[in-house]
Structure 1
Amino acid sequence: MNKDDLNYFRNWFSDFSASYHYDDINDQRNITLKEKHTKHVCANMVEIAEAHFNSPNDCLLAEAIALFHDTGRFPQYAKYKTFRDAISINHGLLGAETLLKEQVLVNLPAEEQTLILQVVKYHNAYKIPNSQTTETVNYLKMIRDADKLDIWDVFIEHFSLPPEQRASAATLGFPETDGYSGSLINCVYDKKMGNLKDVKSVNDYKLLLLTWIFDINYEKSYSLINSRDCIAKISEFLPRCDEIAEITAVLSAYVREKAAGK
């Protein structure tokens, strides 16, 4: 891949996403959310890739993967009006299928096409499949970090807005309630990522986002989490109680240690 390829992909993605624009303000707010998300994930991916790779080509591939990772979100929303895969369609699989259908990657070497498609297909899997090559796994870990980094920022911004200005699909249709799940609290103490199937409310979803720090792969990613103060900022939108304060402290300490290479 070269810079001309990446510029072509940027132009294609801009036209592709624009084809899903709406006159309805709420629908368009959800599409804009994903357009901005893609831009920010690309920036995160470049930071992580440049800290990890020595080859400019590897960095270009990383940015192309970030550009394409949520391609499936646009046709997903058009058909189902949701970003919740469990009640619609797997957006990673749909993204790979869309790239094939649109023949976006045909001018790339076959091995680069395969790599991009596999990473797009599995970037949102709960766990990385064992069947993937070492190179594919490397890029999968990278995009998963870059994706989470912006999702945290998206939700910090989302909950800072007045309710009437929030993108309606961002919280996947979960209800706003006062409580939260003890099973997700336990995930923090067990140092493991929570599962979406255990989420019953928006507060649970916030806790799930916090447990994602146990699925981060690169020291550079932890450094970015630490410098952006993601844990404390998300915790601000959870109930004010001793239990939340305690897990916030546990999570923050964990991030600081990982960012320091421990």
Structure 2
Amino acid sequence: MSQSDEKAGKNAKSAQPKSAAGEVWETFVVIVEALLIAIVIRCFLFQPFSIPTASMQQTLMIGDYFIANKFVWGYGKHSFSLGRYGDFTLLDFELPISGRILGREPNRGDIAIFRPVPEDIEYIKRVVGMPGDEIQVREGRLYINGDIVPREEIGTALDTDSNGDTREVTVYQETFPNGTTHTIQEISDNQPLDNTPVYRVPAGHYFMMGDNRDRSADSRVLSAVGYVPYTNLIAKAEARFFSIQDNIPPWQIWQWPANVRWDRMFRSVY
């Protein structure tokens, strides 16, 4: 047999189809690699969340799905929770640290996912008070360090909570001392949390409030949320990627035409 014949024989041999077992193994390896990459991204970089309650409406509506940045503020003891599905926790590994690793501190006005000290589930609210601030609500108006926070009425709307209770609300554009603006809404200025004592935010803690001011259990309720330690921050909300009315499960594709809120998809959250 000539050298060219031997070479052709080797090429023909190497081109033989793989066995069924080999193809199954390669498929398994690819799936495992993909899962590991997804877990690393979700643990360290970006994590999807959904909104089940009305406390951040209209900024984040019930049925909104959004991506949160997990590395911008570094990593605290609750950073490696992968979320819950009903009563099932996918992963909730608590790091034995009291501070944070890497990252920066949040800015006033950022939207934060965090773990309140009295709770074992994630909340989402806006960072209103920084360490050392004095926060108070008087007759529905927010005060930061004794100064009233400006707000401008921009209209009215109907707001429906997770129990199906619909109320008319007044919508405002509120401007923080650092110049950032956002939308809030109020049922009125004489609701239960519209007149509070002065809250003095401890060092290393933050004061959180929902944008739906009269339908939010937040740092104004010290027994439920209270001051949030820096180490309990999990991620910063960045952008919506999906939105559907009535909290309909996204996998029910047949419900999309009548219920998906296309105008809320692929938009930054601020």
Which protein is bigger by CA-based radius of gyration? 2
TM above 0.5: no
More strand by share: 2
